[in-house]
Structure 1
Amino acid sequence: MHEEIRLRFPVDAEELSRLHTDAFAHEFALVPWSERLERHSRSWAGAFVLGRLVGFVHAVWDGGVHAFVLDTAVASDMRHRGVGGRVVAALLEDLRGLGIEWVHVDYEPHLEGFYRKACGFGPTRAGLLRLA
């Protein structure tokens, strides 16, 4: 399997929306990803196998030195092969080169091993409030 990692690549909204649907097991909704990423994200990374998008992550930012990891997604047939770790690592390296000093991520307890061990995030206390 030859995997290619691309940074800040032109995003196909339907392709990324389908990956997101697969990764998060929700109903398909076409999201205007290009507009969203260009407006809010400092960087994004994708993993491609034979031209197919199989992994994705992006980081929104505050316009300064803080960024926040969102939407880490791996195609269901590509999980447990290191794809997620590689796209996150590529994203973090790109953010470092762009002058980002702090990167935050929230995750559910079952993803702690991935984010803490595979990606190197340390523990922190945070609060969460659902508004809807």
Structure 2
Amino acid sequence: MNEIELVVRFPVDDRVLSELHAAAFDAQPAVDPWGERLERWALTWVGAFSNDRLVGFVQVCWDGGAHAFVLDTAVHPDFGRRGIGQQLVAAAATEALEAGCEWLHVDFEPHLAAFYLEACGFRPTEAGLLKLR
């Protein structure tokens, strides 16, 4: 197995990150402006690299105060079930803590409950969601 290197705030290639995101979420690939979006809105982001290939990603957004939010946790399917997602979320939590945040929030679909609640240590909370489109 290749060694995985986690890199905080790595230089983002929009095409590469878009391809990873599409593969991880079984979506049609489209190049999104990740670099611009992350620089503007994210507290931080973390990439997982195998031999310089981006194989995992997570971003953390925040309110500028006590609350941070995990978004877009993604691991390429070829690298799944190796603990990379857990490492990414743990690194995101460390970065949020070091920035002074008290809380790290995450929203997830039911099939990801075991990952976030058991593997990553989040606890369930009640929350609301309003679909805007």
Give TM-score scaled by structure 2 length.
Answer: 0.96
Is 1:33–2:39 an aligned residue pair? no
Structure 2's unaligned 5+ residue stretches are none
Q: Which runs of 4+ in 1 moved over 4 A?
A: none
Question: Aligned pairs, how many?
Answer: 132
Structure 1's unaligned 5+ residue stretches are none
- Matches of 1:131 and 1:3, distance apart in 2: 38
Match of 1:61 in 2: 62
Is 1:44–2:45 an aligned residue pair? yes
Pairwise CA distance, 1:75? 0.1
- Matches of 2:28 and 2:91, distance apart in 1: 29
DSSP 3-state at the match of 1:69:
strand
Following superposition of structure 1 onto structure 2, how do residues 70-109 of structure 1 map, counting pairs within 5 Å? 70-109=71-110
DSSP 3-state at the match of 2:72:
strand
What is the CA deviation profile of residues 69-121 of structure 1, one whole-angstrom value per residue up to 9, with x for unaligned ones?
10000001111111100011111111111111111100111111100111110
DSSP 3-state at the match of 1:15:
helix
Read off the aligned partner of 1:78 and give its amino acid letter.
F
Is 1:24–2:25 an aligned residue pair? yes
DSSP 3-state at the match of 2:57:
strand
Match of 2:13 in 1: 12
User: CA RMSD for the aligned pairs?
Assistant: 0.8
Give TM-score scaled by structure 1 length.
Answer: 0.97
- Matches of 2:81 and 2:59, distance apart in 1: 20
